[in-house]
């Protein structure tokens, strides 16, 4: 098996594929810098891990002691109970101290992983955190006040529609000094950041609003336009920071 610097392992459908993943990585412990592991929604692998996690039984998948010492970018999609999965199947796989980018897509029941691993002590080099439909609103209540320690440059929070309201304002308080790219999305019509971003009753220079002031390094913003109400929307983004 060759050694890799970058590897995307997609369409992992069945539990037996986990053993194949470990075999693919076997010779890349000292070379791999970018890794993506993806299982499609509704796959047998996803259902298997979900059931084992829900009933609190061992996941019972192939285990590896492999350690990816140079990993910098990690993208995981569709693997539930991530903390339990890594703890039981690959406890040494990710060298979090070198991680610069972490992206999680549709990883159900990832709260324990996020709360235990997302810290300046575990990930001192992390610059990009991207969470797509991963993490509960309750988890974010505990996580957001501590994100400022990480000095993130990129933050993506795209919440599932069934999640409740989170403290969006904390993002500005904790991360406005370091963020260069920000993506806010909430599929809920009731819990999205409408009030936070409502510009209807504010006027230039908008000193008391979420945007545009107070973000010295912000270069890119991605926000659903239906969150922004009132005629001030055009003014907000034309004046920049």
pLDDT at 167 over 90: no
How far is 67 from 45, CA to CA, in rounded Å? 23
- Same domain assignment for residues 209 and 162: yes
Residue with more model confidence, 129 or 209: 129
* Domain contains 216: yes
- Same domain assignment for residues 21 and 83: yes
pLDDT at 185 over 90: no
- Same domain assignment for residues 101 and 141: no
In sequence order, what E strands does the chain have? 6-9, 34-38, 73-77, 101-105, 128-132, 154-159, 181-186, 220-223
Q: Which of 98, 109, 110 is nearest to 67 (CA)?
A: 98
Overall average pLDDT of the 126-133 stretch: 96
What range defines the domain where residue 148 resides? 136-241
- Same domain assignment for residues 15 and 65: yes
Overall average pLDDT of the 105-133 stretch: 95
Q: Is 145 helix (H, G, I), strand (E, B) or coil?
A: helix
40-86 residue pLDDT tens: 999 999 999 999 999 999 999 999 999 999 999 999 999 999 999 99
- Same domain assignment for residues 43 and 89: yes
- Given this model, what pLDDT does residue 92 score? 96
When the pLDDT of each residue in the chain is averaged and rounded to a whole number, the result is 85
pLDDT bin (cut points 50, 70, 90) of residue 133 is very high
Overall average pLDDT of the 122-135 stretch: 95
- Given this model, what pLDDT does residue 36 score? 97
- Given this model, what pLDDT does residue 99 score? 97
* Domain contains 191: yes
Count of C-beta atoms within a 10 Å radius of residue 161: 12
Domain finish residue from 92, 107, 122: 107
Q: Are 148 and 92 in contact (CB under 8 A)?
A: no
What is the tally of structural domains in the chain? 2
- Same domain assignment for residues 63 and 22: yes
Q: Which helix (H) or strand (E) holds 222?
A: strand 220-223
- Same domain assignment for residues 86 and 6: yes
Domain finish residue from 107, 125, 159: 107
């Amino acid at each position: 098996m060759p050694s890799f610097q970058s590897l995307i392992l997609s369409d992992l459908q069945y539990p037996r594929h986990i053993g194949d993943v470990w075999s693919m990585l076997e010779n890349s412990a000292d070379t791999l810098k970018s890794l993506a592991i993806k299982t499609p929604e509704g796959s047998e692998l996803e259902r298997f891990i979900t059931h084992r996690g829900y009933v609190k039984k061992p996941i019972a998948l192939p285990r590896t002691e492999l350690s990816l010492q140079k990993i910098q970018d990690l993208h995981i999609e569709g693997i539930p109970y991530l903390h339990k999965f890594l703890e039981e199947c690959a406890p040494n796989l990710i060298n979090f101290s070198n991680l610069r980018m972490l992206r999680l897509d549709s990883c159900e029941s990832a709260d324990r992983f996020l709360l235990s691993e997302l810290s300046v002590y575990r990930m001192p080099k992390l610059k990009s955190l991207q969470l797509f439909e991963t993490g509960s609103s309750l988890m974010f209540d505990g996580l957001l006040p501590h994100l400022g320690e990480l000095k993130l440059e990129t933050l993506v929070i795209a919440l599932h529609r069934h999640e409740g309201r989170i403290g969006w304002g904390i993002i500005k308080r904790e991360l406005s000094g370091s963020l260069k790219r920000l993506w806010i999305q909430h599929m809920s019509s009731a819990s999205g950041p409408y009030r936070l971003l409502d510009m209807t009753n504010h006027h230039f220079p908008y000193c008391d609003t979420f945007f545009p002031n107070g973000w010295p390094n912000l270069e890119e913003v991605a926000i659903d336009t239906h969150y922004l109400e009132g005629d001030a929307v055009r003014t907000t983004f034309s004046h920049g920071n």
